[in-house]
């Protein structure tokens, strides 16, 4: 007997092989039911998995305050779930800021200002003047990494707290960020001193080792650099900085070769204890870690052909939509099916008229028919967030479960 959607949600069991989130038969049944109910493509967000990821992060790094990086997946439902868990937020634009702000807009002004100060960091080092003007009354933490940005802040947001972003090694990370952001460590103390000379308040230091960091030595080097700069700042400028933002990059086990987050957390806890005073406030900006394995895409075969002897399938989601992460995030998502049968090397294309809209040329799939369903797991980070409406095809419909 087929379960109802509600019954399936209640009996949903998560399974992990080597840390990678896979779905069992109950979830497969639920996904098929949801596709029948909502049509395809659908982007299914499992809020219980997000809550589990948040708890795991806090258990592994108990002295680190979590600031969810909205850019990974800015769905308002995800923001609400993490808000209710006590999470803080890393935003990089006014729309992201307002998405968080919507959860606190009913607070009294004094409580709201205190909450923003402690719970939001605007972690884009470059900000339009209009944004700085709007942010000044809210007094959030703002990152910066150059003198021109400092001058803008002085003019348009002098009441904000500042966090200087360092340029640190990104070797071995899936997406490097150091070519675009971060002050050279050799210039950091001078820039901090200049900020204090301008009567601005530098609250903290930050770094980012690159997204999906698989080289844990990046963190060790960045922590040592930060400790040296904080010590020199106190000696030269007479100012003690008490916030350290260790950024994001925390790895998701997309495959068994990726070392576990727990092993990284053990190293981080040891180094933080060794290098910094007990009253140092440590922040982190996980994005991928909280949402990557909490979302599943379900799509439908809308066409099939044989090209150069290879089975080719066309589905109703593609590179310009949820699979955009393959381009922007350098991440490959496996195409899976609900059907059994002998598998063949197959090509899978998205629905648009662009040949660039090629998801894979090497999927191992049984023979599929028009209207058969396929799915991709661990697709929650930097995917739906960068979907477009290219060629008139809208992004996948978002479906929430376990809210």
Catalytic residues: 353
Which two three-digit tokens encode residue 255? 């495959």
Which two three-digit tokens encode residue 382? 């930097």
Contacts of 394 (CB under 8 A, 6+ apart): none
Distance between CA atoms of residues 333 and 354, nearest Å: 20
Distances (CA, A) of 367 to 296, 301, 305, 374: 22, 11, 11, 12
Distance between CA atoms of residues 126 and 132, nearest Å: 10
Count of all residues that appear for the chain in the document: 403
Which two three-digit tokens encode residue 41? 């493509």
Cβ(363)–Cβ(349) below 8 Å:
no
Which two three-digit tokens encode residue 53? 């990821």
Distance between CA atoms of residues 292 and 45, nearest Å: 10
């Amino acid at each position: 007997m087929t379960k109802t959607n509600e019954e399936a949600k209640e009996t949903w069991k998560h399974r992990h092989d080597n840390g990678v989130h896979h779905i069992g038969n109950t979830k497969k049944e639920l996904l098929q039911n949801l596709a029948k109910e909502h049509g395809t493509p659908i982007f299914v967000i499992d809020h219980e998995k997000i809550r589990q990821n948040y708890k795991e992060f806090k258990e592994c790094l108990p002295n680190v305050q979590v600031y969810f990086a909205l850019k990974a997946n800015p769905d308002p439902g995800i923001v609400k779930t993490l808000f209710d868990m006590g999470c803080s937020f890393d935003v990089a634009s006014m729309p992201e800021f307002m998405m968080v702000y919507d959860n606190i807009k009913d607070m009294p002004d004094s409580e709201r200002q205190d909450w923003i100060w402690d719970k939001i960091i605007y972690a884009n080092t470059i900000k339009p003047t209009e944004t700085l003007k709007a942010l000044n009354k809210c007094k959030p933490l703002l990152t910066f990494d150059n003198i021109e940005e400092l001058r803008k802040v002085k003019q348009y947001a002098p009441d904000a707290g500042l966090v200087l972003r360092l340029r640190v090694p990104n070797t071995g990370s899936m997406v490097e960020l150091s070519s675009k952001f971060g002050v050279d460590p050799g210039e950091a103390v001078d820039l901090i001193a200049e900020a204090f000379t301008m009567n601005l308040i530098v609250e903290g230091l930050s770094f980012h080792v690159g997204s999906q960091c698989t080289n844990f030595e990046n963190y060790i080097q960045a922590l040592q650099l930060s400790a040296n700069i904080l010590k020199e700042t106190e000696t030269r400028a007479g100012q003690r900085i008490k916030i350290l933002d260790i950024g994001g990059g925390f790895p998701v086990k997309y495959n068994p070769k990726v070392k576990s987050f727990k092993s990284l957390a053990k190293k981080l806890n040891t180094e933080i204890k060794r290098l910094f005073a007990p009253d140092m406030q440590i922040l982190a900006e996980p994005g991928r870690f909280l949402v990557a394995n909490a979302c599943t895409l379900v799509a439908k075969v809308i066409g099939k052909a044989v090209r150069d002897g290879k089975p080719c399938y066309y589905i109703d989601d593609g590179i310009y939509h949820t699979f955009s992460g393959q381009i922007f995030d350098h991440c490959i998502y496996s195409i899976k099916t609900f059907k059994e049968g002998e598998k063949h090397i197959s090509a899978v294309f998205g629905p648009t008229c662009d040949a660039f809209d090629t998801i894979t040329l090497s999927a191992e799939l049984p023979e599929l028919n028009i209207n058969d369903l396929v799915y991709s797991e661990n697709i929650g980070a930097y995917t739906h967030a960068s979907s477009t409406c290219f060629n008139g095809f809208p992004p996948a419909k978002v479906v929430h479960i376990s809210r």
